[in-house]
Structure 1
Amino acid sequence: MMKRLRFIVALWMLALAWPVSAHKASDSYLVLKIEGQQVAGQWDIALRDIDFAIGLDADGNGEITWGEVQARHTDIAAWALGRLNLQRGGT
């Protein structure tokens, strides 16, 4: 009986020590090209991040289509640009 209790306690402790798994935070990439006073760039944001923030899956089928993205283009731009802050550093 004591062996069984030790085994259960050891198993329970192992379960508590097991690392918690969660999804990886998504990566977003911003590439800027600066020429004089002009700034141009491309910002790649994961669709799942945009979907989580504003909801892209209009028909609720679990798939995001190009048509659903195009239909929300203005909303996507407003959401993303509302979170972008560029500052000039240095002298």
Structure 2
Amino acid sequence: MALVKVIAGNLFSGANLQKLEVGDFAEVDQATAQRWALIGLVELIEDSVFEVATPTQDTNEPEPEPEKPPRGKGGKKDKSDGDNAE
């Protein structure tokens, strides 16, 4: 992304074609900012570079085993027919 300052009066931006006035600041992708700067519509203020860190997977360590659900006691429960009479 890049921060630009509008220096031309005939610049429209966005999906809804919002008119940007002279002196307005806008944040656009770097390719668009460079194109607009080359034709004299904007002045490039700042380039922003985003870095994304992803964890590395160490192949020497084995993967942890997934947790197993606890097992019951194994005994059969009395089935109730909904009648509490003994």
Q: TM-score with structure 1 length normalisation?
A: 0.21
Q: TM-score with structure 2 length normalisation?
A: 0.22
Greater C-alpha Rg: 2
| Structure showing the higher strand proportion among its residues | 2
| Structure showing the higher helix proportion among its residues | 1
Higher relative CO (CA 8 A, sep ≥ 6), structure 1 or 2?
2
